[in-house]
Amino acid sequence: MFFVFLFLELICFSLIVNNNTFHRASVLSSSNRLVGNIYDLNNGITEYFKLKSINDELAVENAVLRSLLNESKYISSSRKLSVTDSVSRQHYTYVPAKVVNNTTDRRSNYLTINQGILQGVEPEMAVISSNGIIGIVKDVSKNFASVISVLHKNSSISAKLADTEYIGSLVWGGGDPKVAKLMDIPNHVQLAEGMLIRTSGFSSMFPSGINIGTVRSFNVAQGDNFYSIEVDLFTDMSSVSMVYVVNNLMRLEQTELEKQAQSDDE
Amino acid sequence: MKYIWQFALLCLLQALIFNNLNLGGYINPFPYVYLMLILPISLGRVPILFIGFFLGLVIDIFSNTGGIHAAATTLIAFYRPLYLKAQFPREGYELTALPHLKTFGFAWFIPYATIIVVIHHFVLFYLEIFRFQEFFHTLLKVILSSGLTMFFILLAEYLFVSSKRR
């Protein structure tokens, strides 16, 4: 009886340890098909209550995108040239997805989205919304994926103070889902409240220049060489519904190269 | 067999409703432990352990938490028979008795439920955070969440357990 107990607890702990290793496709997660479908069904019902804010969000985004179209630009030259653009190759593609499950009140939060392998979603891809960053894909099944939220105790995202070249990492200290922390900014940098923070593009996941948030407050602990900075996140993680999965077409190339550089060190 | 339905119902309620309750980041109730409280007293210890394990595992799958719920429910499944034995009433348990509020009364049910819920939440929250850095923050979460879970359990006891069924 006691051994049965010990045996079951051992299974539990091996599951916990497995779950903490980052890139393991585990069956026991909400990207699992049955669980995904239950969440999808539930989302089908609750979605109606959020339609208005979703519409607003999409409309704003449409407007922004429309302003980027060639049609909405005034061509000042009367001469027209047909140019095949060989300079700018496609670097990122985006898969739109709907959030079907989301938590923000745990110490380690996850989202489940309704796109998976069949739609080209793979582990380690970044997930963003129209406002800012959301997280990183953990596990995928055919039609669903679970996403490690920015609000996760192991989440660490390379971020840059806009208009400077200083890089830090964005982590979450628990509690308020609207506030994260930016670490590793040296204390000689001139900071001001309201400074913009964006992704650095140093990781192979997030494109550079995605908005993250603004500096809310900052201080330097006695004897510390780095600021501790509180960041107001742009994304309201508790109400995300439409997101985009970012597919970095050159990710493999970058990670292979970096891996090689690291193994050369050893 | 009604326990299978209760198992499924409690898991779904937990996954779809209680997991989405967002009360200031401090309070996460887990009323699914109710199932562990109301299993028949006559049930063997090994079956209880397995029920606890699978209940936790299902919740883990729904909330992407690895095995922390399973670890906590297995622990209370282990502890429950020990508690019931220690609290043996003078006249003994009736073999068919179900551990409900109306069967044994307030003075018996409240400590019984509170101890099991608090142990469960304590193990759960400390496994979730897996470090002692935020010790008091986590302790506060344990206390507040246990309170709310107890509230839901008592609510269920009053609403769904008819006194006829003992």
Which residues touch B91 (CB under 8 Å, ≥6 apart)? none
| Segment A212-260, tens digit of pLDDT | 999 999 888 888 888 889 999 999 888 888 888 888 888 888 888 888 8
Q: Does A19 touch chain B (CB under 8 A)?
A: yes
Task: Give me the residue label for tokens 């009886």.
Answer: A1
Q: Does A25 touch chain B (CB under 8 A)?
A: no
Tell me the two tokens of residue B153. Answer: 């359990």
CB A187 within 8 A of CB A209: no
> Which 21-40 residues of chain B touch chain A by CB within 8 A?
21-25, 27-28
B139 touches chain A (CB under 8 A): no
Residues in chain A within 8 Å Cβ distance of B27: 105
Neighboring chain B residues of A2 at a CB cutoff of 8 Å: 78
Residue written as token pair 């883990």? B60
In Å, how far is B30's CA from the nearest CA of chain A?
A: 12
Lowest model confidence (mean pLDDT) among A40-49, A83-92, B121-130: A83-92
Residue in chain B nearest A146 by alpha carbon: B64
Domain borders along chain A are 157-236
- Residue B45, chain A, CB below 8 Å: the answer is yes
Q: Given an 8 Å threshold on Cβ–Cβ distance, is A16 in contact with B67?
A: yes
Mean pLDDT of A90-108: 85
> Could you tell me which residues are beta bridge partners of residue A102?
A111
Domain A157-236 has CATH 1.10.760.10: no
Q: What is the pLDDT of residues B90-112, one digit of tens each?
A: 666 666 677 888 777 888 888 89
Whether chain B has a CB inside 8 Å of the CB on A238: the answer is yes
Phi, psi of B76 (to 5 degrees): -70, -30
- Write the CA distances from A165 to A125, A171, A185, A190, A207, integer angstroms: 25, 19, 10, 12, 16
The distance of A238 to chain B (nearest Cα, Å) reads: 9
Closest Cα in chain A, distance from residue B162 (Å): 30
B43 residue type, one letter: L
Instruction: Write down the pLDDT at residue A14.
Output: 83
| Burial class for B135, CB neighbours closer than 10 Å (0-12, 13-18, 19+) | exposed
Q: A39: burial class by Cβ within 10 Å (0-12, 13-18, 19+)?
A: buried
CA B144-B146-B19 angle, to 5 degrees, is: 90
The string of pLDDT tens digits covering residues A169-198 is 999 988 888 999 998 888 888 888 889 999
- The residues pairing with A168 across neighbouring beta strands, listed in sequence order, are A159
In chain B, the number of structural domains is 1
What are the distances in angstroms from CA A6 to CA A1, A171, B47, B60? 9, 35, 14, 19
Q: Given 3-state DSSP classes, what are the helix, strand and coil percentages for chain B, each rounded to the nearest 5?
A: 75, 0, 25
Of A16-25, A142-151, B42-51, the poorest mean pLDDT is in: A16-25
Q: Scanning the structure block, which residue is given the tokens 């142990």?
A: B119
Distance CA B127, CA A219 (A): 31
Q: Cα–Cα distance between A40 and A159 in angstroms, integer? A: 32
Domain that holds residue B47: 2-10+18-23+30-165
pLDDT for res B166: 41
pLDDT category at A74 given cuts 50, 70, 90 is: low
Residues of chain B with pLDDT under 70: 1, 22, 24-25, 89-96, 131-132, 162-166
pTM for the model stands at 0.65
